Amino acid sequence: MITTLPAALDRARLLVAPALREAVANLAPEVRLPAEYALGWVDRDGRPVEAGSGKHVRAALALVSARAAGVDEAVGLPGAVAMEIVHNFSLLHDDVIDNDRERRHRATVWAAFGVGHAITTGDALAILAMQVILDQGGPYAREAASLLTASTARMIAGETADIEFETRDDVTLDDALEMSAGKTAALLDCAASLGAVLAGADSDLVAALGRYGYHLGLSFQAVDDLLGIWGRPEVTGKPVWSDLRQQKKTIPIVAALEAANGQADTLRGLLADSRSSEASAARAAELIEGCGGREVTEQLANEHLATALAALDGADLDPGVAAELDEIARFVVERQQ
Amino acid sequence: MITTLPAALDRARLLVAPALREAVANLAPEVRLPAEYALGWVDRDGRPVEAGSGKHVRAALALVSARAAGVDEAVGLPGAVAMEIVHNFSLLHDDVIDNDRERRHRATVWAAFGVGHAITTGDALAILAMQVILDQGGPYAREAASLLTASTARMIAGETADIEFETRDDVTLDDALEMSAGKTAALLDCAASLGAVLAGADSDLVAALGRYGYHLGLSFQAVDDLLGIWGRPEVTGKPVWSDLRQQKKTIPIVAALEAANGQADTLRGLLADSRSSEASAARAAELIEGCGGREVTEQLANEHLATALAALDGADLDPGVAAELDEIARFVVERQQ
């Protein structure tokens, strides 16, 4: 399928880029280079490049969130910048934890600069996100910072569960969904409501936007899990079968294990062998699909998309804003990468 | 020399302990165990123990800082709790970065729980510190959170410089002092002024307390650097010669290299060999002392102690508060561990 980039994402990139550069310029010189590298602005020697820097989904949500509250999207800008920074913080540390050497078709920060620098640069970004909100967030900065810290804490818990699950054999589909709720949905929940919080919106609107973001996040993660098995490396920028090789307990894998019955042990064996064998990973992917893991995950992605969109129904949004949130949601779930 | 524990440190431990436990109870279950382990409350299986958990210098400073502003020290309590949490966050990540297997006579968090858990638990603590301030900091929470984030950012920059210096041969004494200013002084600066900020004190008092904390931090780090070479492992809880073996560019080492003249190459060779040879580390320590590295560092520790105490002179402090800050400062610099 062909998906056009929603205008909100394009606008977010243009609006956020200069503000993000300004924020990152405040980083101490010791961590600025790896941070700018992570953001796709420079190569490892600091020479300007234009590498991919993500799709700015979180930033776009924060901006549209402010508009949902009836104010100019500039009010949501510190939130948009903070979301991009927190997202990149989590990628930096995740890549160290998962030992991933490649992201967005380039060496990851630890692979390029060493583990120590990747850890401290991630730390610096996590702190910078809070600083942006506290210093530029206007009259509702404290509330916004509270939301951001609580959401970041949930994300970190989800990432920790992700690590734990790699060595556990008893992960259920519910566990995997809860992990996704932390790892991904918490931050989209935050992004979709942060702009409204910065605008001082009432709590009903904030809650509706948060629900939209939360279910969109679950949908997003389900799609990500599909791409982690069946995505093409040249599109995803990650090595083939990466989730299988890393013993990840993603939604399709866990769903297949739960449904596999007599074939569960075969699948477990193939997954274990995937660590070192590409052929086993290919066979595991086939078996996961055969056991319905792919279909269940596609279904979950669609269901949570529907729930996300339904959350907006009672929120009395400006039609233009509602259309943009709708468009972003569909784009996220229909993306090929 | 024998040093008695200042009453302020003892009081801080008693006052902060329950508040710290309450804050840590808010952590997600995934990261709570390694966090409680890091704080010395439980063993790696979660069984209660009473392991060392540091001297609570930062917490004590935050509490006395509130009293310096003329309010009850309870006003400084969220600051004291946050300081302890940030300090422990930095230790968790530092131990991963430095590959240190032991701290406070126990396995470090990464050695006990794995690198992934040490990274995410550290992340969770960094965020928790902000949450404590934002949620419990009262009317000046935003200002206090801004101070905490700015100080944490300086600390992270110092830690990054510390890593960088390990592979650099051209580190000057000024570089080493600037690194200490970030790595240690920034957080003591924050601790000593945070209570006053939470109390809404005027900026002159906040600045004077910050200067006291900053120079105390430089003094503290100089002493730490001395202990990193000449401290007894049974007292410091770290392996013998750890700073030498890790190619750290601490103050005594860099001061000795600058003063070594004809012997600089010999010292460089011994330091390089210290990585694998205890005998070379012992000889390096002797040569560092012979070149005046120990004396220069002791002098710096004393000078910054004097500057710290002088910073309080014009601040018109309650004599009891001034006496406590004086006592804490002397304890920090005269400690044997």
From A29, A135, A150, residue closest to B146, measured CB to CB: A135
Nearest-CA distance A156 → chain B (Å): 6
Structure confidence at residue A1 (pLDDT): 46
pLDDT tens, position by position, B34-55 = 999 999 999 999 999 987 767 8
Structure confidence at residue B337 (pLDDT): 42
Does the pLDDT at position B116 exceed 50?
yes
ipTM: 0.94
Interface test with A, best of B149, B166, B171, B198 (most A CBs within 10 A): B149
User: Does an H or E element contain B106, and which?
Assistant: strand B106-107
B227-232: average pLDDT: 90
Does the pLDDT at position B336 exceed 70?
no
With CB atoms and an 8 Å threshold, state whether B149 touches A141.
Answer: no
Residue from A154, A167, A147, A31 nearest A97 by CA: A167
With CB atoms and an 8 Å threshold, state whether A134 touches B149.
Answer: yes
| A120 in contact with B, Cβ within 8 Å | yes
Give the pLDDT band (50/70/90) at residue B320. Answer: very high
pLDDT tens, position by position, B256-307 = 999 998 899 999 999 999 988 999 999 999 999 999 999 999 999 999 999 9
Does the pLDDT at position B2 exceed 70?
no
Cα–Cα separations (whole angstroms), residue B209 to A141, B10, B66, B145, B185: 26, 21, 10, 17, 12
B212-218: average pLDDT: 97
Question: Residue A234: is it exposed, middle or buried by C-beta count within 10 angstroms (0-12/13-18/19+)?
Answer: exposed
| B263 in contact with A, Cβ within 8 Å | no
| Chain A residue numbers touching B30 (CB-CB < 8 A) | 157, 160-161, 164
Give the gyration radius of chain B's Cα atoms: 20
Give the pLDDT band (50/70/90) at residue B3. Answer: low
pLDDT tens, position by position, B198-207 = 999 999 999 9
B214-237: average pLDDT: 90
B219-245: average pLDDT: 86
| Chain B residue numbers touching A124 (CB-CB < 8 A) | 153, 156-157, 160
Structure tokens at B83: 């300081």
From A30, A93, A130, residue closest to B119, measured CB to CB: A93
**B173: helix, strand or coil:** helix
pLDDT tens, position by position, B160-190 = 999 999 888 899 999 999 999 999 999 999 9
Mean pLDDT of chain B: 93
From B30, B126, B145, residue closest to A160, measured CB to CB: B30
Domains of chain B and any CATH numbers: 7-334 (1.10.600.10)
A residues 154-183 closer than 8 Å to B (CB): 154, 156-157, 159-161, 163-164, 182
Question: Whole-angstrom Cα distance, residue B109 to residue A192?
Answer: 35
Cβ pair A15, A21 in contact under 8 A: no
| Chain B residue numbers touching A128 (CB-CB < 8 A) | 153
Structure tokens at B226: 């001395």
Question: Whole-angstrom Cα distance, residue A244 to residue A248?
Answer: 6
With CB atoms and an 8 Å threshold, state whether A164 touches B27.
Answer: no
Amino acid residing at B54:
G
Question: Whole-angstrom Cα distance, residue A190 to residue A322?
Answer: 18
pLDDT tens, position by position, B58-98 = 999 999 999 999 999 999 999 999 999 999 999 999 999 99
pLDDT tens, position by position, B126-163 = 999 999 999 999 999 999 999 999 999 999 999 999 99
Interface test with B, best of A86, A117, A160 (most B CBs within 10 A): A160
How many other CB atoms are found less than 10 A from the CB of residue A313? 11
Structure confidence at residue B55 (pLDDT): 85
With CB atoms and an 8 Å threshold, state whether A124 touches B156.
Answer: yes
With CB atoms and an 8 Å threshold, state whether A127 touches B149.
Answer: yes
- Exposure of B38 in the CB half-sphere (CA atoms within 13 A): 33
Q: Which residue of B has its CA nearest to A132?
A: B146
User: Does an H or E element contain B42, and which?
Assistant: none
Q: Please list the pLDDT of chain A residue by residue as tens digits (337 residues).
A: 446 788 989 999 999 999 999 999 999 998 999 999 999 999 999 999 987 767 899 999 999 999 999 999 999 999 999 999 999 999 999 999 999 998 888 999 999 999 999 999 999 999 999 999 999 999 999 999 999 999 999 999 999 999 999 888 899 999 999 999 999 999 999 999 999 999 999 999 999 999 999 999 999 999 999 999 998 877 777 777 888 988 889 999 999 999 998 899 999 999 999 989 999 999 999 999 999 999 999 999 999 999 999 999 989 999 999 999 999 999 988 875 4
Q: Kindly give the residue spans of alpha helices, DSSP state H, lying in chain A.
A: 7-24, 29-38, 57-68, 77-98, 109-113, 115-136, 141-166, 173-180, 186-198, 203-230, 233-236, 242-245, 251-259, 264-274, 278-290, 293-313, 319-334
With CB atoms and an 8 Å threshold, state whether A28 touches B124.
Answer: no
| A248 in contact with B, Cβ within 8 Å | no
Interface test with A, best of B113, B130, B143, B151 (most A CBs within 10 A): B130
From B123, B134, B163, residue closest to A93, measured CB to CB: B123
Question: Whole-angstrom Cα distance, residue A116 to residue B98?
Answer: 8
